[in-house]
């Protein structure tokens, strides 16, 4: 069996499982007003060429690894060819192009999805975020901080600002990965990419703003009024569609590598969008390769144990993480619960044990209603999760199969709900006002000193 080029594995790099929205941490605001912006332009616009520096030459200097940058690359793999940013390989995001000048200050004239915006500079981003005010902070993690920004035309976007000390040795892997991945994808259940800015030691990514927090915040009760089982089922299907698209329908398969509840954003209609592509891998090796040999990346509790032990990454590693997410949605618990009894610390083991014993009601999130339709959903979702969490990748279903199973579960759920509604329906009987009848037909009024006696 063909395999991809193997690299020398390093020790695993694992994120903590706390409720992060992105992979970020804060940094101080810069006062400079100039900057370079890379955005999405219309296909009929020609790349700007200044003097004798070609478009692709300048773009290669920005996005490919120099010797110093490559020394920090987690996977020691060459950067995908520049053609991966061409109009032919962007997929549905066909407006991708870049303005280039001979100076360090560059700007993009148009952003796909941000109609009416002119050039955006680092100064514009500072104004949009109140100079990166804490009041506009909406997420924080190891790589940088995410802010809500309001542009001068009223558009609201999310602004991911990378931690400055990550750039001492060049463009880091996560920033490069996120841009390469986001530029290739466009799907209803994935956050939309608008562009990125480089200005001195600042690296900023501009993406779609999702106003209703993360899935983990909803499960914790920090957002919304609690998710009912039907809403949770919709979210499962949304995530399955997004990951299926990444694995199957992009020009080159993309492995997300960090599917978890804090990377699932929820919109006002309680539908899900997958975010944070800092750990994503684009499969650019031999098409016949069975896996990618790479350093381990991910979040504790969600990571494929076979990937951890063999350093072999496949799309089934995302399927394993998705199985953990399914159990998280069913139970409401974190994957690792250090304060629980020993037999409940690892949520997936505890939940699947409840399934084996026929005690699925004990695995249900206490916030969920107990009724036959919800019990049916819980049992079927746990059975699917058990398939996704199989010890070996060969035993796990592809993500597309997971989506199909979830569609059938949702169909069965709605049929059960309709049957229950029909069974509970009763003929409307006119209500009788006894006091009014006593007065009208017998002339008897109620009083504190009298009791009505039946004939």
Run of H or E including 59: helix 55-63
Same domain, 271 and 183: no
Say how far apart CA 441 and CA 444 lie, in whole Å: 8
User: Domain count of the chain?
Assistant: 2
Say how far apart CA 344 and CA 270 lie, in whole Å: 29
Q: Output the pLDDT for position 440.
A: 65
**Looking at residue 176, which CATH number applies to its domain?**
3.30.200.20
Same domain, 167 and 22: yes
Same domain, 250 and 203: no
Give the highest mean pLDDT range of 9-13, 115-119, 212-216: 212-216
Determine, yes or no, domain membership for 327: yes
Same domain, 225 and 367: yes
Determine, yes or no, domain membership for 355: yes
Least confident of 102-111, 221-230, 236-245, 272-281: 102-111
Same domain, 26 and 88: yes
Determine, yes or no, domain membership for 359: yes
Same domain, 157 and 40: yes
Q: Output the pLDDT for position 406.
A: 98
Same domain, 413 and 334: yes
Q: Which residues are annotated as a binding site?
A: 164
Say how far apart CA 429 and CA 90 lie, in whole Å: 63
Say how far apart CA 286 and CA 303 lie, in whole Å: 25
Last residue of a domain, one of 208, 237, 253: 208
**Looking at residue 276, which CATH number applies to its domain?**
1.10.510.10
- Kindly name the residue from 258, 304, 315, 318 that is annotated as catalytic: 258
360: nearest Cα among 379, 381, 384, 343: 379
Q: Which residues are annotated as a binding site for ATP?
A: 164
For 406, left (φ over 0), alpha (ψ -120 to 50), or beta?
alpha
Average pLDDT rounded to a whole number, residues 174-186: 85
Determine, yes or no, domain membership for 8: no
Determine, yes or no, domain membership for 454: no
Determine, yes or no, domain membership for 68: yes
The DSSP bridge partners found for residue 365 are none
Same domain, 191 and 166: yes
Within 13 A of 144's CA, how many CA atoms are on the CB side?
A: 26
Judging by beta carbons within 10 Å of its beta carbon (0-12, 13-18, 19+), is residue 359 exposed, middle or buried?
exposed
Say how far apart CA 447 and CA 295 lie, in whole Å: 84
How many residues does this entry show for the chain? Answer: 455
Helix (H) and strand (E) counts in the chain: 13, 14
Same domain, 222 and 321: yes
Average pLDDT rounded to a whole number, residues 348-353: 97
Say how far apart CA 395 and CA 242 lie, in whole Å: 22
Say how far apart CA 364 and CA 97 lie, in whole Å: 48
Same domain, 163 and 246: no
Q: Identify the domain containing residue 295 by its residue range.
A: 215-423
258 included as an active-site residue: yes
Of the chain, the percentage scoring pLDDT greater than 70 comes to 62
E strand residue ranges, 12-109: 13-15, 36-39
Least confident of 2-6, 168-172, 224-228, 407-411: 2-6
Same domain, 194 and 252: no
Determine, yes or no, domain membership for 431: no
385: nearest Cα among 324, 302, 298: 324
Say how far apart CA 108 and CA 194 lie, in whole Å: 11
Over 80: is that where the pLDDT of 44 sits?
A: no
Determine, yes or no, domain membership for 9: no
Same domain, 138 and 49: yes
Q: Is 11 helix (H, G, I), strand (E, B) or coil?
A: coil
Say how far apart CA 73 and CA 85 lie, in whole Å: 20
């Amino acid at each position: 069996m063909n395999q991809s080029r193997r690299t020398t594995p390093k020790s695993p790099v694992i994120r903590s499982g706390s409720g992060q929205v992105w992979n970020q941490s804060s940094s101080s605001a810069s006062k400079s007003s100039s900057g370079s912006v890379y955005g999405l332009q219309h296909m009929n616009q020609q790349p700007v060429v200044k003097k004798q520096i070609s478009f692709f030459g300048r773009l290669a200097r920005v996005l490919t690894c120099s010797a110093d940058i490559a020394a920090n690359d987690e996977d020691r793999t060459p950067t995908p060819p520049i053609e991966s940013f061409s109009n032919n390989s962007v997929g549905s995001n066909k407006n991708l192009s870049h303005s280039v000048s001979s100076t360090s200050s560059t700007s993009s004239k148009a952003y796909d999805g941000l109609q009416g915006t002119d050039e955006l500079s680092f100064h514009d981003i500072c104004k949009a975020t109140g100079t990166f005010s804490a009041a506009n902070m909406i997420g924080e993690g190891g790589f940088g901080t995410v802010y809500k920004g309001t542009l001068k035309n009223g558009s609201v976007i999310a602004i991911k600002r990378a931690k400055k000390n990550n750039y001492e040795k060049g463009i880091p892997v996560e920033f490069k990965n996120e841009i390469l991945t986001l530029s290739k994808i466009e799907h209803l259940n994935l956050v939309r990419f608008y562009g990125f800015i480089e200005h001195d030691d600042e690296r900023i990514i501009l993406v779609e703003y999702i106003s209703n927090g993360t899935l983990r915040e909803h499960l914790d009760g920090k957002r919304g009024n609690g998710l009912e089982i039907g809403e949770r089922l919709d979210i499962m299907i949304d995530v399955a569609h997004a990951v299926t698209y990444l694995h199957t329908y992009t020009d080159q398969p993309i492995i997300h590598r960090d599917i978890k509840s804090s990377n699932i954003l929820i919109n006002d209609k309680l539908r899900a969008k997958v975010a944070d592509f800092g750990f994503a891998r684009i499969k650019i090796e031999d098409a016949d390769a069975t896996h990618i040999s790479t350093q381990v990346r991910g979040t504790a509790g969600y990571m494929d144990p076979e990937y951890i032990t063999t350093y072999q990454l496949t799309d089934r590693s995302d399927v394993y993480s998705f199985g953990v997410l399914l159990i998280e949605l069913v139970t409401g618990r974190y994957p690792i619960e250090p304060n629980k009894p020993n037999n409940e610390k690892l949520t997936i083991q505890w939940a699947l044990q409840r399934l084996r014993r026929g005690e699925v009601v004990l695995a249900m999130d206490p916030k969920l209603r107990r009724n036959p339709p919800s019990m049916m959903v819980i049992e079927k979702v746990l059975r699917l999760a058990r398939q996704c969490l199989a010890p070996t990748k060969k035993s796990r279903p592809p993500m597309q199969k997971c989506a199909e199973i979830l569609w059938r579960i949702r169909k069965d759920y709605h049929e059960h709900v309709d049957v229950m509604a029909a069974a509970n329906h009763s003929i409307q009987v006119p209500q009788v006002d006894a006091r009014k009848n006593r007065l009208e037909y017998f002339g008897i009024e109620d009083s504190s000193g009298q009791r009505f006696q039946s004939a």
